[in-house]
Structure 1
C-alpha cells in the first residue's frame, strides 16, 4: 500500500484497493482503478517511451489548448496543446499517505528557452476509494503578466459509447462546435448522446458538474473548480480511424470530459496563483 516509485513514475494504492499510476513523462495519469475496474482509457497503440504525447489517461494541457495562436511569437511556435505533456516532471512531495487516501505533488520543469515566462507549475493527485482528484496549480513568478490556457484531457473508460448519456450542462450554455468549424451554439440542456462525432467546448459551465451515465448501471461525476470550461469529445469511427495512435475501435471505449480554462487566455498578475481542480467520482 502507499506510494511506490518506479523507473517510469509513481504508483499509489489505498487500503480499499483503488490505485493510480502517474508517469514522470507529462505527469500523465495512465491508470486509475476503483472497484476492481480500470476507469481510464489508454490506447494500446499509444507511445509510452517519451517519443510523443500519450494517447489516453489524463494528459496535462498547458500553456495552450489546441493549435497555437498566431501571436505572440513564443505561443505561435508551440506545438498543439503546449509542452507540459511532453516534459519530464518530478515527484516533489507526498502530501498525505493514509489508509483512506493518498495525495502526491508533481512539479514541472522549466519551460523551453524560447518561452520567456517564469512560473511554477504543480500538479496534485489525490486518490481515495471511489474518487480521483487532480489539481493544477500555477503561480506567476515573473514581473510581468502571464497568460495561459490549461486543461485536463481526461479519457473516461466506458463499455460502449453508443449507450452513454452526458447530463447537467445548463440550458443556454454557449459552446464552440469544432465539428461545425467553431460555430457558437447554445445548449438546449438535454442529455447528450453520441451518435456522430462530437467536439464541443462549453464555455463557463454554471453547474461545474457533469454526469456520465455509462448505460450499464454505473458512470461518473466530473466536478470542477477554477476550471470554468469543459470539452466533450469523441471522434467516433468517422474521425477516430484516422488517428494514428488510436487502437482499432478504441473510440467505442471512452468519452473525453475535459475541464479547463480555454475559451480565452487566463491572465495572472505577478505573484498571482491559479488553481484548477477536477474531481472524478465513480457512481
Structure 2
C-alpha cells in the first residue's frame, strides 16, 4: 500500500443552490414566481396584471378587490393594471385615441408570456438572499381584438418586464414603433397598494409639485407644500415629479417608489361613496385598506417615429 502523504485535499461538494421558481398555473391563466426567501408575485396573463406581491415575511403589498373580475371579461380592479396607449377617458382633442376605451386596451387583452431570466446566489453555505427573477410579457397587434386594431391601427410591440427581488418589485414597459407611421401614446402603472388604514396613511415626495385636482372637476392647482393626507375622495395628477415617492403607513415609511422616464404621478382613493358605486370593488370598506400611487407619463402624449423605442420603469421597495 502506497502512503500518499501529499495527496490532494478532497474536493468539497457544493450544496444545492437555491434558485427562483417560475411556474404557469394548470389553467394557463397565471404566472407565479417565488424566490428562495419567500418573496412571491402572481401575474394574470389577462392584462399582464400583477395581482399579488408578497415580500419574504409573507406580507401582501398590493390591494386586490375581493369582487375583482378575473375571467378576462373586464379589467381587473386592483393589483397593477397597465394603462396604454391612453390615460383616462377618450379625448376628442386627440383623434388618434378617440375611439379607445378608458385607459386604453393593454389591460383588456391577454398578453403572451415570453419567459424568465433569473439570478441566483452562489455563496456557499449562505441563503440565496440576492436571488431575483425577471419575467417578460409581450403584446403586438396580433394579440389584440379587431375592435382595438380598428380604433388604434398602428404597428407596435410592447415588452413588459416584472422583476422580483428581495423586498422589491420592478415593472418596466418598452414601447416600440415597428411600423413607418408615427404614433403617440400615454402610459401608466395603475398600482393599488395595500395599507393598514387610509386615515393614517400619507404620501411624501410630491410636496413641491403642482397637480391637476380631478375632484370635483379637473382644475390646475398649485403645489401644496405638505404631505398628501386623506380625509375624503382624492384624485390628483402630479406633473413633473422628480423626487422618490414614499408611502407612509402609521407614521412609518412602508413603500418607496423610484421612477425612470415616468415624470407624472397619480394619487387616488375613491373613499366610501364612490367605491359603493363600483360593482367590482370590495369589501365595502376596502377603500380604507388601499391607496393608488401610479407612476406614468400622462400629462402629454409621447411620440414615436417609425423604428423608435421608449422605455419607462418603476422600482418599488417595501420597508415593512
Kindly name which structure, 1 or 2, has the bigger radius of gyration based on alpha carbons: 2
Whole-angstrom distance in 2 between the partners of 1:73 and 1:65: 14
Which residue number corresponds to residue 243 of structure 1? 278
Does residue 126 (structure 1) correspond to residue 148 (structure 2)? The answer is no
Secondary structure of the residue aligned to 1:179 is coil
Structure 2 matches for 1:109-120, cutoff 5 A? 109-110=140-141, 111=144, 112-114=148-150, 115-120=152-157
Does residue 77 (structure 1) correspond to residue 113 (structure 2)? The answer is no
Which residue number corresponds to residue 41 of structure 2? 20
In the alignment, which of 91, 95, 118 is matched to residue 117 of structure 2?
A: 95
Which residue number corresponds to residue 158 of structure 1? 195
**For 1:219-254, what per-residue CA distance to the aligned partner results, in whole angstroms no more than 9, with x for missing partners?**
100111111100000011132211111111111111
Whole-angstrom distance in 1 between the partners of 2:73 and 2:119: 32
Which residue number corresponds to residue 174 of structure 1? 210
Of the structure 1 ranges 47-56 and 238-247, higher mean CA displacement relative to structure 2 is found in 238-247
TM-score by length of 1: 0.96
Structure 2 matches for 1:1-283, cutoff 5 A? 1-6=20-25, 7-34=28-55, 35-98=57-120, 99=128, 100-110=131-141, 111=144, 112-114=148-150, 115-171=152-208, 173-207=209-243, 209-215=244-250, 217-247=252-282, 248-283=284-319
Which residue number corresponds to residue 123 of structure 2? none
Change over 3 Å in CA distance of 1:258–1:139 after alignment to 2: same
Whole-angstrom distance in 2 between the partners of 1:4 and 1:10: 6
**For 1:159-200, what per-residue CA distance to the aligned partner results, in whole angstroms no more than 9, with x for missing partners?**
1000011101141x2211000411101222211110111100
> Contact conserved, 1:108 with 1:122, CA < 8 A, in 2?
yes
Whole-angstrom distance in 1 between the partners of 2:38 and 2:308: 38
Task: Note the residue ranges of structure 2 that are not aligned, 5 or more in a row.
Answer: 1-19, 121-127
Whole-angstrom distance in 1 between the partners of 2:116 and 2:165: 15
**For 1:119-154, what per-residue CA distance to the aligned partner results, in whole angstroms no more than 9, with x for missing partners?**
111100000110000001101112122100000000
> Contact conserved, 2:87 with 2:103, CA < 8 A, in 1?
yes
Which residue number corresponds to residue 4 of structure 2? none
TM-score by length of 2: 0.85
Whole-angstrom distance in 1 between the partners of 2:96 and 2:135: 31
Residue correspondences, number: 281
Secondary structure of the residue aligned to 1:222 is strand
Whole-angstrom distance in 2 between the partners of 1:147 and 1:156: 29
Task: Note the residue ranges of structure 1 that are not aligned, 5 or more in a row.
Answer: none
Compute the RMSD of aligned alpha carbons.
1.4
Whole-angstrom distance in 1 between the partners of 2:250 and 2:226: 16
